[in-house]
Amino acid sequence: MLTSLFSVIGFFRATPVLLLLLSGCSSELTSRLSIVGGIESPNNSPAWSSTVAIGKVIRNQDAIEWSCSGTLVSEDLIVTAAHCLYDVKSPSELRVLFGNGTNSPESVISEVESFKSFREEGYRYFPNFDVAWIKLTGLAPNSSRPVKVLTDWEQLESFVGVPLAVKLAGFGQAATKCPNGSTDCTGIKREVNSTLRNAVDTSHFISQMVLGPTPGYGSCFGDSGGPAYVYLENEWYLAGVLSGKSPLMNTKEVLKSGSICESGESIYNFIGPYVNWIWSISGSPIGSLSDRQASKPSNIVDSQYMDLHELIDEQDFRKSSWDTIAIMIQHFKKNLPADNDGSFFLDTKRIAASIQSWTDFAYNGIYFNPSSQKLRSYQIADVSPLKYLKSAKSLTLVGNRIIDTTPLGELAQLESLTLGNNVDHDSKQRIPWRLEFLDKLTQLKSLSLANNKLGFDQNAIPWSSLSSLEVLDLSGNVGIDLSLIPWADLQNLRELNLSKCGLTSVLDLLDARSLVKLNLSQNQISNLEPISKLSHLEELDITKNPISDFNSVTGMHNLKAIKHDQDR
């Protein structure tokens, strides 16, 4: 589904979220360099007493992989990034390190009692909601001290544009590429000052802190979940939790793979809105500057939306339509606006205008995560926002869990449609496609219903409305009944794929006389006599069928290419 190395970046060290990121080393950086471009945390720094390392136990190696950072906010509670806890099943898998280095004999390692992410499957919404807490089995060491949390959005905004007013810390790498043999490029608590370029709080970029660019100074792999501190009223406060970097909110410099850390850019989640949730669920009190929680005006719009930009402005992230819009916004990573500096995605009218100009949209809701070697769900359930793709000529929806397809009938300009594998990833239950809407798509030239395991009602397909159809793919639908398709009505049909359908006979294809290309591979067909009546046929694939007599097709006048197993 992701089309760029930097579509989603969360700064794990060694095991990055969603994507296998960069590795290797760079000889031009000395061992003095830090978080990137910073210093080891002195004992008068908030990082010295409250920044911790988060690790995962490697059972078969009797070791701990220190992959993230975090912040002590109560005597037994850590806040970190939710993506640092992806695929963690039990608290016994986690460890928290207090000290200045993961290899320091003076560091103290604590076990974990419980943990919780703000949203399950939070990776779907990156960089939103990337907040989690970890509760220790006991109290933090005496040498540590919890830091208070900034909760007021207006106070955060007062730091926007103030040079180097935000302190970042973590145990991550000192450079995008560490020198060969380096022992201190990572795993040492370091800090650096950065500038808060923007505080963003919109419907789809919720409570985000955009840091940098401060070239040569910033966060890197292993700093995920680490703190962004601000100094207010003679005291340090935790303001943000590191998520990573995003080409949607950062500048184009963040895309330079050789110096992703040196770009000095990053995205942090403002911690303020999460304080009540953390306190109420974990049971651990959190100190703050005031009792006022971060908030923003409500903008819940009526379900009958007038314009797409109003739908984009919808702030109720519990709605399924919000999820779909979020996915559509992430789709911009395939083709970033030429003038994007992060401001484009703050203007919902510009976003809406760009979306409405798209001529194609392709989305696969199931992604293979190479880190965990597991499938991960990003499924769309609500296609109502897709009805605004008025310029779309091509639409592909595979691996989703769509129930109501009616809105797709409003895409009157659609010429190519692919619908596949509609199944709820969590329950593994297949969801039948409702295809009645096809009667509205009179311009449709290509239709693929491949690999649905006959997850649609053949009788509900309005074939008489698909007279413009030129390409039809029904492969991977074992048990399909060819007699239910009025082939004579599909007078423009040129290409047909019926591979892997469990067919034993093709007698019902006699009326598909306009076919030029036919794929019948991997079926149980033994008699090709009906195929000989398709006089326009130029290409035929009949591999992996129990056919012994090919005479009926080898003499076809227009047949230019035939694939079969006769010579095997």
Cβ-count burial of 340 within 10 angstroms (0-12 exposed, 13-18 middle, 19+ buried)? middle
Q: What length is written for the chain?
A: 568
Residue 155 has pLDDT above 80, yes or no: yes
Sheet hosting strand 416-420, strand order edge to edge: 360-364, 394-398, 416-420, 446-448, 471-473, 495-497, 517-519, 539-541, 561-563
Sign for the CA dihedral angle at 69, 72, 73, 76 comes to: positive
Under a CB-based contact definition with an 8 Å cutoff, are residues 208 and 131 in contact?
no
Range with the poorest average pLDDT among 113-117, 205-209, 250-254, 344-348:
250-254
Which of residues 187 and 21 earns the better pLDDT score? 187
Using DSSP's 3-state secondary structure scheme, residue 395 falls into strand
Indicate left, alpha or beta for 129 from its phi (over 0: left) and psi (-120 to 50: alpha).
Answer: left
Average pLDDT across the chain, whole number:
87
Q: Tokens 């070239």 appear where?
A: 215
Question: What is the arithmetic mean of pLDDT over 185-196?
Answer: 95
Alpha-helix runs per DSSP H in 137-249: 153-157
Confidence tier at 17 by pLDDT (50, 70, 90) = very low
* pLDDT tens per residue across span 467-493: 999 999 999 999 999 999 999 999 999
Which of residues 178 and 505 earns the better pLDDT score? 505
Report the distance separating Cα 45 and Cα 191, nearest Å. 9
Using DSSP's 3-state secondary structure scheme, residue 26 falls into coil
Report the distance separating Cα 193 and Cα 284, nearest Å. 29
Give the best-scoring range by mean pLDDT among 57-61, 383-387, 564-568. 383-387
Taking the mean position of all CA atoms in its chain, how far away is CA 489?
A: 42
Under a CB-based contact definition with an 8 Å cutoff, are residues 56 and 84 in contact?
no
Question: What is the arithmetic mean of pLDDT over 19-25?
Answer: 27
Confidence tier at 3 by pLDDT (50, 70, 90) = very low
* pLDDT tens per residue across span 84-120: 998 899 999 999 999 999 999 999 999 999 999 998 7
Under a CB-based contact definition with an 8 Å cutoff, are residues 58 and 70 in contact?
no
Confidence tier at 265 by pLDDT (50, 70, 90) = very high
pLDDT for residue 5:
24
pLDDT for residue 28:
27
pLDDT for residue 178:
87
- Tell which residue, 70, 78, 83, has the closest CA to residue 11: 83
* pLDDT tens per residue across span 528-552: 999 999 999 999 999 999 998 888 9
Neighbours of 77 (CB within 10 A): 22
Long-range contacts for 429-436 (Cβ within 8 Å, ≥24 apart)? 430/455, 431/401, 431/402, 431/403, 431/455, 432/456, 432/457, 433/402, 433/405, 434/403, 434/404, 434/405, 434/406, 434/460, 435/405, 435/460, 435/461, 435/462, 436/405, 436/406, 436/460, 436/462
Question: What is the arithmetic mean of pLDDT over 31-39?
Answer: 59
The encoded tokens of residue 122 equal 């939070």
The encoded tokens of residue 221 equal 């792999």
Task: Report DSSP state, residue 518.
Answer: E
Q: Which domains does the chain have, with CATH numbers?
A: 9-281 (2.40.10.10), 356-563 (3.80.10.10)
Using DSSP's 3-state secondary structure scheme, residue 351 falls into helix
Q: List residues bridging with 517 in a β-sheet.
A: 495, 539
Under a CB-based contact definition with an 8 Å cutoff, are residues 136 and 76 in contact?
yes
